[in-house]
Structure formats: C-alpha cells, structure tokens
C-alpha cells in the first residue's frame, strides 16, 4: 500500500542519468521521418507525391456541388488506382501488389489528404474488394478482382441495415436457395431490413456484396455474403431499390445510400463460398460446424478495414497537430515575458500542456498502429496464421481502432481551438478534418462495441473454445470459472510479485521507482488493467451467483468492462512506444523519443490519477510530482515541437492553411 511518506519529489532518473544533466537534443527530421515511415517508406512517399498532385481536391470539396464533388472524388480514386497504390494488398496475379503491410501504409498516408477520397478508396478496395478476396474463392477472384483493382468495376459492401449496424447477426435481409433454378432469391423484409449508409451505393456501384440470412430447405444458416448486381448502365437492376442517403455531416464526396431487394435472383455461384457452400441440390456444407464460430471466422477475415481506419484516424490527427503547432510558433498574443513583443502561443505553458500530450500520444499510437499493421501482415500473409494469432489480431485491431479514432476526434478539436478564430475558417483544414473524421468512431465498428470485444477476448483468454460465444455465453463462462481461476487469469497479485524483480523499492516500488523509468509507467498501467479485469470478472461471477439474468449482469458491469478494455489497450500502446524507443541506438533521436514516451506515459497516468489514488498506487505527493514532471517534459519538448510535427511529413499542399503555417 502506498503511504504519504514518499519523498516530496521522486527521483527522475533514466538509466542512472540525473535529469539535471539533460542536454537538449537536435532533431534530425529526415531520420525521424524514416523511423516513423518504417519498412514502407517508399510506399508512403509515393502516396505523398500523389496527394500533392491532387491537392486541388481540397478546394473542390468546398467549391463543387455535392453531385460534382462525388464525381470528382471518383475520378481521383480511379486515377490513383492506376498508380497501383490502392491495390497493394491484392494478389499479384490479378494486378495487385501482393503486400498487405504496404496496402495499410498506403491507406494510412492517404489520410493526410481529402478524406472522401480516403473513404471511397476504403469502400472500393478495402470493403468491397476485401470481401471478394477474403470470403470468395478462385471463381470470384477470377471474375472480379482484376476489374475492381483498376476501378473498372465499382462495388459496395452492403452489411449494415437501418435496423442493425453493430448486431450483424440479427440482419433482416434473406437469401433463400431455390433448388429448382439453382439460384438465391434476395428479399428485404420491411424498412428496418434495407441496407443503409452503404458507401458507393447511391451512385457509383454496379455490384454489391450483400450480407443476408441464408435459408436452405426451410432452415436458416446464418449470415452469408452474396455478390449481387445492383445497377446496369446507371439504372437499378430489376427488383433492386436504391435511395440516396443525402447530405451527411462530412465525407460528402462519398455517395452513401440505401438498397433493398424484391425477389432478386442471383446464381448459386454468387454465394461467396470460402467458408460455406450450397450444393446444386440444396445441401448446405461448411467446414466450420458451429454457426457462431463460422460467423466470427467470416467477419474476422475482414479485420483489415478496422486496422486501416485506426491508422487513418491517427494520421488525420497528425495533420491537425502540424497546423496547430506551426501556427503556435508564429502567432503572438499578450506581452508575457517581455515588454518588447507579445508572447508566442507555444511559449505559454498552457498551450504546451494542451498540445504536447496529444503530440506524444500521436507518436505512441503511431507505433502501436505499426505493431497491429505488422500483425495483420503476418497473419494474412501466412507468416503467423494460427487461431491464437488471429484472435489476438482481432482484439488488437479493435482496441487500436477505438483509441486511434477517439484520439483523432479529440486532437482535431483541441487543435482547432488552439488556432482560435482562424481555426474555424475552412481554408485552414479543421472544418473538413472535424466533419470527415467524426464518423471514424462509428464505422468499421462502433468504438464502444469494439471495446466490449476486446474485453471478451481478455476474459476468455482468447480461448478458441469460448471466443465464439455471444455476450451471454461469455458471462456464463466467466461466472462458471472457479473464483481462483478468475483471479489467476486476471491477477494483479502475480503482477506485483513480478514487479519486485523489475523495479527498485520492493513493496514500495510505486513510491521508489523513478517517474521517468518506463518500467514504472508500464507497471502502473498493467496494474490498472489487471485490477480492473479482476474486478469485472468478480462482479460477473457475483451477479450470476445471485441468480441474476446474464444479460442484466453484463449490462450492470458494462462501464467497468469498457474501462478494463481501455486500460488494456492503453497498456499495449505504451508498451509499443517503449519498445520502439528502446530499439533506437543511443543518440539524439533516442533522447527525443524518450521525452515523448515519458510524456505519454506520465500524462496517461496523470489523466487517471483519481483511480490510481483510489487504489493506493499514487500518493498525493507523487501525483503532484507527476504533474510537475509532465510540465517539465512539455518545456523540454517546446524547442523541438516544430521538428516533431515536421517529421510527420504531411505534404505542405495538404496543410493548406497558408496564413497559419507561414512560408
Ligand atoms: C458515413 C458512413 C458510412 C458507412 N459505410 C458503410 C458501408 O459502406 N457498409 C456498411 O455495411 N455499413 C456502413 N456504415 C454503417 C456503420 O458501419 C454502422 O453505422 C456502425 O456499424 C454502427 O451501427 P449503427 O449505426 O446501427 O449503430 P448502433 O449499433 O445502433 O449503435 C448506436 C449506439 O448504441 C451503442 N450500442 C450498440 N450496441 C450496444 C451494446 N451492446 N451495449 C452498449 N451500447 C451499445 C453504440 O455504442 C452506439 O453509441 C456506414 C456508416 C456511416 C455513418
């Protein structure tokens, strides 16, 4: 237990070097960019150059009508497809690049530019193309991939319905097998079952991958995907209804729409049959017997979209931070430290406090995103493709997407405010950034729903026997474990045993360890995570033991579930940053990364200090010492700040904002 006897200021050493011996590093901007760009620097460079070439689209988003802008976005997407940058994840034999990691890097970098272009690329190549590739077999690949990679064939991904977005298993569209004609008949039963918000549906898609409940011989086989022609020569196909979703809060260059089907017939081969098939005489076959598991396996193959949106959110935050930081080293308000001239905004402690923890977190999330993109590449390239790695990837993708997109929303807002009234002018980018990224928190999985997925994985330890359980099954599973197993699985006490070897101070590690010791910061986050998980498990178990309905139990514990999942992902993010900083050889680059990493670690603890104090891991003195250290780190980062945003290498054409960024 922590007491109030800790020294007023905890030692702040890193590797035995006193903080007072700190020498300000020089940031080698190209070297830092190279570190950020990583393995796919060349791909990112290609996308940056293409973005700069198409920079005019940022103006056109404001000057064209919605209809014109949609056409312009489509043109740009097709032009980009011709460079190969949008097809990098597809197999080479169909004209793709055969490199999944490259395709994620390309997509993330596109987020520096107009986000309607980004999302249309995501819809066409990620969602539509991804579904054909992952859920289809050779016949579908041969029929569609080459054309969709070049943009000759435009398609859409029609999963969500008006009535159901998050709960995909409850979709209402039905595909009934007609043995007599060997066709599937697609029908929309009522308004709630029409497809809604579907990108590319309102105008451009000729084909849709439609998710529907498959019925064979009067029995329901669950949700499956079908390739359905929806438009020919610009007109809806027979039996297909199409409606425009109209104006949206942002992303108005993407034509989102509704689709419904009135007895639309497609051949038997239209079923994307990698995981299940129907024989001509109407026998349903699947190598995966359990319907729940089949469903989750199918959805799991579509995880790339989630990884991409998380990365795009993080990169959109970089654009905002670049503009706000550049403005703050030019803009002056009030005499503060001199009578001669007014103070630069970035020399105000408050401005540093507002922007730098977000900057540090952006770096942290960047490196966490690099980890998940690497895992995605490894799993889908067959390098580490087993059940456990897939589960881990799905969980990590969900968590990073949630934190990355929430971070974008928060950072863009803070940066807009940091630019004052100027931030409100559309020319300065924030209007589009805010409006276009807002929905990143919702599509590709609502963030809160995703964090519940993360928690489920943690509570069941990614056990393949239990991963395919629904929420109630998961509650019953956790409740069915012996209390000791729950505590064992989520054990804060075991962590504390391990910590004693890692940190100085024995039982008093949380008072004795240096604040700038990344093991200390990581242990704090790990303690919070494990404590929260154990708490969730105990509460679930107690509720069931009291005879409550599992759904009610889960609902009551849900805020705790989300907090535990978030704590878990926060730990992974810090871990990724620490690992990256440790991997860099001694020198100025390492010092720079350590500053950012410490700022991220400590500001994360600071943000939840009430919890740490409530749980006896933070004394009042130490909590105050952390806040002092955060401020001190901000002062150290101040002279480096412009270099740190320059290292993101957002093409100057994409920053627009001529009056804000100078030059
Ligand atoms: C611009 C845009 C583009 C899109 N593009 C496509 C596309 O191309 N193809 C496609 O198929 N879909 C698309 N979507 C749909 C998108 O994926 C869904 O909107 C999303 O999955 C959320 O579903 P929903 O809207 O039904 O929200 P809901 O699932 O109804 O969620 C509403 C709220 O309820 C909360 N909630 C839901 N379930 C729970 C629970 N169990 N416990 C606690 N809280 C809960 C959520 O956190 C959320 O805040 C798009 C949406 C938009 C806005």
Instruction: Express each pLDDT in 625-641 by its tens digit.
Output: 999 999 999 999 999 99
The model carries a pTM of: 0.95
What integer pLDDT is reported at residue 145 of this predicted model? Answer: 98
Cβ-based neighbours of 139, under 8 Å, separated by 6 or more:
269
Instruction: Express each pLDDT in 257-282 by its tens digit.
Output: 999 999 999 999 999 999 999 999 99
- Three-class secondary structure assignment of 594-628: HHHHHHHHHHHHHHCHHHHHHCCCCCHHHHHHHHH
* Per-residue tokens: 201: 């549906």
pLDDT bin (cut points 50, 70, 90) of residue 603 is: very high
Measuring from atom 41 of ligand 1, which residue has the nearest CA? 449
Across residues 539-556, what is the average pLDDT?
88
Can you tell me which atom of ligand 1 is nearest the CA of 448?
47
129 lines ligand 1 (CB under 6 A): no
State in Å: Cα 167 to ligand 1 middle.
Answer: 9
What integer pLDDT is reported at residue 457 of this predicted model? Answer: 86
Determine the residue of 116, 128, 160, 172 to mutate for testing ligand 1's pocket, defined as the one with the most ligand atoms within 8 A of the Cβ atom.
Answer: 160
**CA-closest candidate to residue 481, choices 450, 505, 454, 459:** 459
Instruction: Express each pLDDT in 573-585 by its tens digit.
Output: 999 999 999 999 9
199 lines ligand 1 (CB under 6 A): yes
Distance of CA 467 to the CA centre of its chain: 21
Can you tell me which atom of ligand 1 is nearest the CA of 164?
26
485 lines ligand 1 (CB under 6 A): no
Per the rule left: phi > 0, alpha: psi between -120 and 50, beta: everything else, 15 is left
pLDDT bin (cut points 50, 70, 90) of residue 7 is: very low
Determine the residue of 165, 193, 198, 260 to mutate for testing ligand 1's pocket, defined as the one with the most ligand atoms within 8 A of the Cβ atom.
Answer: 165
Q: Please say if the pLDDT value at position 181 is more than 60.
A: yes
Across residues 418-439, what is the average pLDDT?
97
What integer pLDDT is reported at residue 463 of this predicted model? Answer: 61
The torsion defined by the Cα of 497, 499, 503 and 506, in degrees rounded to 10, comes to: -30
Residue 455 φ then ψ, to 5°: -65, -40
pLDDT bin (cut points 50, 70, 90) of residue 502 is: confident
What integer pLDDT is reported at residue 589 of this predicted model? Answer: 98
123 lines ligand 1 (CB under 6 A): yes
Q: Please say if the pLDDT value at position 295 is more than 90.
A: yes
Q: Please say if the pLDDT value at position 485 is more than 70.
A: no
Measuring from atom 31 of ligand 1, which residue has the nearest CA? 166
What integer pLDDT is reported at residue 15 of this predicted model? Answer: 41
554 lines ligand 1 (CB under 6 A): no
Q: Please say if the pLDDT value at position 180 is more than 70.
A: yes
**CA-closest candidate to residue 205, choices 241, 231, 226:** 231
The partner residues of 212 in beta bridges, in order of sequence, read: 224
- Percent share of the chain, pLDDT over 70: 92
Q: CA–CA separation, 35 vs 3, rounded Å?
A: 42
What integer pLDDT is reported at residue 375 of this predicted model? Answer: 97
Instruction: Express each pLDDT in 438-484 by its tens digit.
Output: 999 999 999 999 999 999 888 877 665 545 556 666 776 766 665 55
* Per-residue tokens: 102: 């490259």
Is the separation of the CB atoms in 479 and 466 below 8 Å?
A: no
Instruction: Express each pLDDT in 350-406 by its tens digit.
Output: 999 999 999 999 999 999 999 999 999 999 999 998 888 999 999 999 999 999 999
State in Å: Cα 16 to ligand 1 middle.
Answer: 50
Q: CA–CA separation, 279 vs 265, rounded Å?
A: 17
Can you tell me which atom of ligand 1 is nearest the CA of 199?
8
Instruction: Express each pLDDT in 149-159 by its tens digit.
Output: 999 999 999 99
State in Å: Cα 432 to ligand 1 middle.
Answer: 21
What integer pLDDT is reported at residue 481 of this predicted model? Answer: 62
Cβ-based neighbours of 376, under 8 Å, separated by 6 or more:
100, 101, 104, 303, 304, 307, 393, 397
What integer pLDDT is reported at residue 1 of this predicted model? Answer: 30
449 lines ligand 1 (CB under 6 A): yes
Instruction: Express each pLDDT in 100-125 by its tens digit.
Output: 999 999 999 999 999 999 999 999 99
321 lines ligand 1 (CB under 6 A): no
pLDDT bin (cut points 50, 70, 90) of residue 345 is: very high
Q: CA–CA separation, 634 vs 596, rounded Å?
A: 9
Average pLDDT, the chain: 92
What integer pLDDT is reported at residue 466 of this predicted model? Answer: 47
Instruction: Express each pLDDT in 312-337 by its tens digit.
Output: 999 999 999 999 999 999 999 998 88
Q: CA–CA separation, 278 vs 263, rounded Å?
A: 19
Can you tell me which atom of ligand 1 is nearest the CA of 123?
8
Can you tell me which atom of ligand 1 is nearest the CA of 445?
21
Is the separation of the CB atoms in 231 and 264 below 8 Å?
A: no
Residue 229 φ then ψ, to 5°: -65, 130
What integer pLDDT is reported at residue 479 of this predicted model? Answer: 67
**Three-state SS at 519:** helix
State in Å: Cα 40 to ligand 1 middle.
Answer: 32
Distance of CA 20 to the CA centre of its chain: 39
């Amino acid at each position: 237990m922590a007491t109030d006897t800790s020294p007023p200021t905890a030692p702040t050493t890193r590797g035995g070097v006193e903080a007072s011996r700190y020498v300000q590093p020089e940031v080698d901007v190209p070297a830092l960019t190279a570190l950020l760009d990583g393995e796919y620097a060349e791909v990112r460079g290609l996308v940056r150059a293409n973005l700069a070439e198409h920079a005019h689209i940022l103006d056109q988003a404001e000057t064209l009508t919605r209809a014109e802008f949609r056409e312009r976005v489509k043109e740009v997407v097709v032009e980009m497809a011709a460079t190969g940058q949008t097809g990098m994840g597809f197999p080479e034999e169909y004209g793709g690049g055969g490199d999944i990691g490259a395709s994620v890097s390309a997509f993330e970098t596109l987020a520096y530019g107009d986000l309607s272009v980004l999302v249309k690329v995501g819809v066409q190549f990620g969602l539509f193309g991804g579904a054909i590739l992952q859920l289809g077999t050779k016949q579908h690949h041969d029929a569609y991939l080459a054309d969709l990679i070049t943009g000759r064939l435009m398609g859409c991904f029609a999963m969500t319905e008006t009535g159901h977005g998050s709960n995909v298993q409850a979709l209402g569209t039905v595909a009934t097998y007609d043995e007599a004609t060997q066709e599937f008949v697609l029908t929309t039963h009522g308004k709630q079952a029409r497809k809604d918000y579907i990108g590319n549906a309102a105008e451009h898609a000729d084909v849709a991958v439609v998710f529907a409940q498959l019925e064979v011989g009067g029995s329901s086989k669950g949700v499956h995907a079908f390739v359905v022609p929806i438009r020919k020569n610009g007109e809806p196909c027979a039996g297909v209804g199409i409606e425009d979703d109209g104006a949206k809060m942002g992303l108005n260059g993407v034509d989102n729409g509704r689709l419904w089907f009135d007895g639309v017939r497609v051949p038997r081969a239209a079923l994307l049959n990698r995981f299940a098939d129907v024989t001509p005489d109407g026998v349903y076959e699947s190598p995966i017997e359990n319907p729940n598991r089949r469903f989750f396996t199918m959805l799991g193959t579509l995880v790339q979209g989630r990884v991409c949106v998380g990365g795009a959110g993080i990169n959109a935050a970089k654009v905002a931070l670049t503009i706000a930081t550049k403005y703050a080293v030019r803009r002056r308000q009030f005499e503060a430290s001199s009578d001669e001239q007014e103070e630069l905004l970035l020399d105000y402690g408050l401005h540093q406090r507002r922007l730098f923890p977000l900057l540090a977190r952006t770096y942290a999330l960047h490196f966490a995103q690099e980890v998940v993109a690497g895992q995605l590449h490894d799993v889908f390239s067959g390098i580490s493709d087993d059940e456990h790695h897939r589960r881990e990837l799905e969980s990590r993708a969900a968590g990073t997407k949630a934190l990355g997109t929430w971070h974008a929303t928060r950072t863009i807002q803070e940066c807009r405010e940091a630019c004052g009234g100027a931030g409100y002018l559309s020319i300065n980018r924030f209007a589009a950034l805010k409006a276009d990224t807002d929905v990143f928190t919702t599509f590709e999985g609502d963030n809160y729903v995703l964090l519940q997925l993360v928690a489920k994985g943690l509570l069941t330890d990614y056990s393949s026997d239990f991963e395919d359980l629904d929420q109630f099954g998961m509650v019953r599973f956790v409740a069915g474990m012996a209390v000791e197993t729950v505590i064992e699985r989520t054990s804060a006490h075991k962590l504390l045993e391990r910590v004693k070897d890692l940190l100085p101070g024995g039982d008093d590690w949380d008072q004795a360890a240096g604040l700038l010791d990344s093991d200390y910061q990581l242990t704090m986050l790990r303690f919070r995570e494990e404590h929260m998980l154990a708490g969730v498990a105990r509460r679930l178990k107690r509720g069931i033991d009291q005879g409550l309905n599992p759904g009610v139990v889960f609902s009551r514990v849900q805020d705790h579930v989300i907090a535990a999942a978030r704590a878990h992902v926060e730990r992974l993010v810090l871990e990724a940053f620490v690992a990256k900083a440790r991997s860099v050889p001694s020198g100025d680059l390492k010092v720079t990364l350590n500053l950012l990493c410490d700022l991220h670690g400590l500001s994360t603890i600071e943000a939840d200090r009430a919890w740490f104090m409530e749980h006896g891991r933070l004394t009042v003195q130490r909590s105050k010492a952390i806040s002092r250290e955060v401020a001190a780190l901000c002062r150290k980062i101040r002279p480096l700040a412009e270099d740190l945003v320059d290292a993101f290498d957002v093409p100057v054409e994409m920053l627009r904002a001529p009056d804000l960024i100078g030059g």
